[in-house]
Chains A and B, each alone.
Chain A
Amino acid sequence: MDEVLLRSLIPGVLTVLVRRGADFAAGEDAVQDALVEALGAWPADPPRDPRGWLITVAWRKFLDATRADAARRRREDREGGLPEPGPAPAADDTLKLYFLCAHPALTPSSAVALTLRAVGGLTTRQIARAYLVPEATMAQRISRAKRTVSGVRLDRPGDVATVLRVLYLVFNEGYSGDVDLSAEAIRLTRQMAAAIDHPEVAGLLALMLLHHARRAARTAADGSLVPLAEQDRGRWDTHAIAEGVVILQAALARDRLGEYQAQAAIAALHADAFTAEETDWVQIVEWYDELAGLTDSPVVLLNRAVAVGEADGPRAGLAALAGLDPALPRWTAVSAHLHERDGDLDTAARLYAEAARKATNLAERDHLTRQAARLHVRLDVHRRRSDQK
């Protein structure tokens, strides 16, 4: 069974139910029930018309759930039988679902969960496993999110930026549980890009594709992180890079620059370099300057300091770093890297060890500990040599 195809049908089925008069919360529950039934039934007995099957079953679930509502029941009796599936939903309807699920009234974690279920067509169990929380907790998070947006009408466009933030969050989760959330985020962003002509949606899609292209090269066989400069660039996915670059160029030609386009431009410059040495750091610094003008995120300035260190030398990088708050995540790691490039291995080793203690994820912590260890080995060799003299 093609689970991705099944998932891609979900938002359309939901919009059909809503158009037939189901409210969003009850309709979404019914679609989820139909989805779970499909996952059980389709492998043995695939339907000829998957979309029609889902609409029929979801509508029946919806009616079952609202049977207590006498008025609805009478209307149902009057109309008799199941309504026709109707035409395929307009892209516009799907888009409204994106806006609703990323509504600014929702917390980021709720918006992510609701988007993955109502737009992404994932089951509550899959979402719970991906985020390492009990299924009951995730179910509650989703129903609370639905209550929060229950008064919101599905007829107004929302803010594209809030949807993009949610999709970006999903992308960054990577591979967790039995769902590839990065691939899922790309699918959802692609679907959104097809529904709305917006340079930042295209920018985010390009950014995701360009980063995703490096995924295989980003971890070694033993699971450890491989920094960009050391990645085997032959393992980068050239198809994803080519697609990302084409999408980005079309977006940039519109001359409405945004932060995702700028980030994608930086990722594209890395993708352009056949070796780390060929990287056009001067142009990357220029893009970071553009980016710094578009967002007040201090993380941008931190990454800019790394780029300055490559373009103008480690001293210049350290000078750029000196103006930033040392409490920033990864500040210490960046400082360690720049000190190493400057030849101050003692300081670098100390800072790598400190950065490892401050790391917020295990892979990064292990990587930074290895960096400290690597420098200590070099320092020990130096010391032994100078002792022998």
Chain B
Amino acid sequence: MAKYLLLKHYRGAPAAVNDVPMDRWTPEEISAHIQYMQDFAARLEKTGEFVDGQALAPEGTFVRYDGEGRPPVTDGPFAETKDLIAGWMIIDVDTYERAVELAGELSAAPGAGGRPIHEWLELRPFLTEPPAAITE
């Protein structure tokens, strides 16, 4: 089994095919979308492939250390930041092919007009612990 992170972007991913902001959908289309996402996660729980899923607020703050005895420096949010993560899902699957298949299904979630969003999701493998039995 290998874990993959499916990243959804507010900004920074290539534009989706059906690229309409959510508040311009109809309320029914929003409900259908949310239902699709919930069903997807529920199905992956049943197949034993779901690990975690979380959504993030759009605005964040940059923070850095500013030296001994000084409070950290905060900055942002930066409107020009290219990449903005909207949320993630972590899956635990047998193969890379399965991870791609699932990311494709998630990207097919319905959007404006009830048509799939075709949204670009970023698929990132987790770095694993070294195997216990090393074969040479």
Contacts and interface: CB of A to CB of B under 8 A. Distances in A.
Nearest to B34: A366
A224 B31 CA distance: 8
Given A222-B34, A224-B31, A366-B34, A373 B25 contact: yes
Interface in B17-38: 21-27, 29-31, 34-35, 38
Interface string B97-133: 0000000000000000000000000000000000000
Contacts of A372: 23
Interface stretch (B51-59, B61-69, B88-96): B51-59
Contacts of B34: 222-224, 366
Interface string A346-389: 00010011001111101001100110111011000000000000
A362 B33 CA distance: 14
Given A222-B35, A223-B34, A223-B38, A370 B27 contact: yes
B133 to A, nearest CB: 26
Contacts of B29: 373
A53 B30 CA distance: 54
A359 B55 CA distance: 12
B23 A376 contact: yes
A374 B24 CA distance: 9
Nearest to B35: A222
A360 B56 CA distance: 9
Contacts of B57: 357-360
Contacts, number: 43
A369 B24 contact: no
B22 to A, nearest CB: 5
B55 A373 contact: no
A372 B23 CA distance: 5
A353 B23 contact: yes
Given A357-B58, A360-B57, A369-B22, A374 B31 contact: no
A357 B30 contact: no
Nearest to B10: A357
B23 A349 contact: yes
B29 to A, nearest CB: 8
B31 A222 contact: yes
Contact of B26 (A356, A357, A360, A373): A373
A377 B22 CA distance: 12
Given A224-B34, A373-B23, A362 B55 contact: yes
Contacts of B59: 357-358
A133 B1 CA distance: 23
A357 B55 CA distance: 12
A337 to B, nearest CB: 15
A373 B30 contact: yes
B31 A356 contact: no
A376 B29 CA distance: 13
A376 B31 contact: no
B26 A377 contact: yes
A35 B31 CA distance: 43
A366 to B, nearest CB: 6
Q: Which of A352, A359, A365, A372 has the most CB of B within 10 A?
A: A372
Contacts of A369: 22-23, 30
7 contacts: A352-B23, A357-B57, A366-B30, A366-B34, A372-B23, A373-B22, A373-B27
Interface of B: 21-27, 29-31, 34-35, 38, 55, 57-59
Given A222-B34, A222-B35, A373-B29, 6 more contacts: A224-B31, A353-B23, A366-B30, A369-B30, A370-B27, A372-B23
Interface of A: 222-224, 349, 352-353, 356-360, 362, 365-366, 369-370, 372-374, 376-377
